Structure 1
Amino acid sequence: MDGLLDGRRLSPVQRRIAHYLTENLHDAIFLSSVELAERAGVSQPSVTRFAMVLGFAGYPELKQALRPLVLGERPEAPQESLLRGAIDSEIHNLTVIRDRLATLPLKELGEALAATEPLPVLGLRVSSGLATTFAYYARRIHPDVRLLVHGGSELVDGLHAARRAGAEWVLAVVLPRYPAEAVQALEYAQKLGLRTAVITDRPGFPAEVVLDAPVGDRLVFDSHAAPLALAMALVEAMADAAPLRTQARLEEYERMTDETGVFLSGDAT
């Protein structure tokens, strides 16, 4: 199953089917498509589409291909868990980023984002989480970070206000599934005269600077370890671009948190 699934981008429904097959392969090869659909909690047509995504004409052909792999040799120990496979996939994704660090424009983009004021950070739907994390840390070292995680006219207003206040760049996080509104917002930002940078999972995204990192797709929903690591590397590059400001702001922040008791003390239980 791992060989069949490797490199495939599956929908959440298809991942449920893949999960069930991976965990119950020795039983699943005797099930009909209707029975498999009931066990996996999906519809029967979804099982057929899943088989076709893997390159088979239908589920009977997929089942026939799987049978020789398991018949006559039922292992006593369970197969490697889906979670272990998902974590292994994320380790691979992080390794890809590590090996590409020298080719990524982190230093140049960090300098540009550190210099622009204000700095709008855009992220819609699932991308809002990573955009929020980036903005949270960037605010510790940058005087004016403006988080835009709501669509519609509010997003347009935010971009327009940032540009009017002097912004030269906008950073967007656009991860799958890619919201059409996020792409439209980047197009509008370019019309306003803003330069665009994007953290995404694919090269060639329509932006001036693209930082691409693969997402994990072994679970029902994507996991974003590699894009998160890339976002934190970009914050680090911003800190390095303005070291005196970074130091002053971090020291001021620590004084504030100490005075107000924002965080628990180190020996709190």
Structure 2
Amino acid sequence: MNDLISKIQSELPRFSKGQKQIARYILEHYDKAAFLTASRLGATVGVSESTVVRFASELGYEGYPHLQRALQEMIRNKLTSVQRIEVSKDRMGGRDVLQTVLHADMDMIRMTLDSIDRDAFQGAVDALTGARRIYILGVRSSSALANFLGFYFNLLFDNVILLHTNSVSEIFEQILRIGEEDVFFGISFPRYSKRTLSAMKYAGDRGARVIALTDSQLSPLARAADHVLLAHSDMASFVDSLVAPLSVANALIVAIGMSRRGEIEQTFNSLERIWEEYDVYEKAEDEGT
């Protein structure tokens, strides 16, 4: 963040009058500017959209979307919940909330599909299928993703440990014996969890393979992982959008299931008998009743 801000400050004297207005707005309101389109930023500061586009070019970006993306990447772990609410309010304006949020989630999946590293994805599949033990950790909102993975991985493997997160010390007690034949799967999105990052670093130091499901190569989790699965997450709202990360987790489960099809079929045949015997699921009523 400091690099981009410093660049804007150093270039400020040579900007045109309109560009100086844009620069000052970004310096003072970077949390909001990062989520404004070129036309809305121009309208906010009183300049044309073309002036905003030229401003981005003056800073060395191919276009305004690249500048906007750079701002978003650099601040995504800095916004407080209050700031996120303010940004969300500005972005929504008077638009329909349901339509806006669902379209944003669709965009997150589309962007994830376009940018995800297929080699990293396959590397994660291979690491998981060859692991002695699999440890999964996600805290706060990411715990939903960890629980989803843990549920299905327990059907696919007999060596899965979903870490409980009541305290930092408890996490390390659970991964005390992690080693070179094991895999640690860490999940976190802005604002990034220190507990998850610390546990990932410990696992890596012990020789375990480390997988990260996170949102950006700038994420601290990415630097601590052997395999990085990137899924876009719209963090402008006070609610973390986990639609794209959930889709990546779903794809990972399916890929592993396909690679172990014979074993999986036996497992689910056994499960179907158990579910039937213990009346786990509601049965469809007989026709005519």
Q: TM-score, normalised by structure 1?
A: 0.70
1:130 corresponds to which of 145, 162, 179: 145
* Equivalence for 1:222: 240
What's the secondary structure of 2:264's corresponding residue?
Answer: helix
Q: Structure 2 CA distance, aligned partners of 1:191 and 1:92? A: 37
Q: TM-score, normalised by structure 2?
A: 0.65
Deviations 1:20-47 (A, max 9, x none): 4566x6xxxxxxxxxxxxxxxxxxxxxx
Q: Which runs of 5+ in 2 are unaligned?
A: 1-34, 42-67
Maintained 8 Å contact 1:171/1:197: yes
* Equivalence for 2:263: 245
* Equivalence for 1:188: 202
Cα distance, 1:227 vs structure 2:
0.4
Maintained 8 Å contact 1:172/1:197: yes
Worse overlay, 175-184 or 214-223: 214-223
Cα distance, 1:104 vs structure 2:
4.7
Q: Structure 2 CA distance, aligned partners of 1:149 and 1:176? A: 20
1:17 corresponds to which of 82, 86, 92: 86
* Equivalence for 1:158: 174
Deviations 1:98-144 (A, max 9, x none): 23457353233212202212211111222111111111011111112
Maintained 8 Å contact 1:15/1:220: yes
Q: Structure 1 CA distance, aligned partners of 2:186 and 2:90? A: 37
* Equivalence for 2:57: none
Are 2:162 and 1:147 equivalent residues in the alignment?
A: yes
User: 1:95–1:20: structure 2 CA closer, same or farther, 3 Å change rule?
Assistant: closer
Q: Structure 2 CA distance, aligned partners of 1:212 and 1:237? A: 17
Which has the higher relative contact order, 1 or 2, with Cα contacts under 8 A spaced 6 or more apart?
1
Code of the residue aligned with 1:228 in structure 2: it is L
Q: Structure 1 CA distance, aligned partners of 2:118 and 2:169? A: 37
Code of the residue aligned with 1:155 in structure 2: it is I
Maintained 8 Å contact 1:106/1:237: no
Code of the residue aligned with 2:280 in structure 1: it is V
* Equivalence for 1:232: 250
What's the secondary structure of 1:92's corresponding residue?
Answer: helix
Maintained 8 Å contact 2:85/2:236: no
Cα distance, 1:148 vs structure 2:
0.8
Maintained 8 Å contact 1:117/1:143: no
User: 1:127–1:21: structure 2 CA closer, same or farther, 3 Å change rule?
Assistant: closer
* Equivalence for 2:46: none
What's the secondary structure of 2:211's corresponding residue?
Answer: strand
User: 1:162–1:21: structure 2 CA closer, same or farther, 3 Å change rule?
Assistant: closer
Q: Provide the identity percentage.
A: 24
* Equivalence for 1:197: 211
* Equivalence for 2:231: 213
Give 1:55-74 correspondences, 5 Å limit: none
Q: Structure 2 CA distance, aligned partners of 1:136 and 1:182? A: 19
Are 2:103 and 1:88 equivalent residues in the alignment?
A: yes
User: 1:93–1:148: structure 2 CA closer, same or farther, 3 Å change rule?
Assistant: same
Q: Structure 2 CA distance, aligned partners of 1:19 and 1:241? A: 42
Q: Which runs of 5+ in 1 are unaligned?
A: 26-78
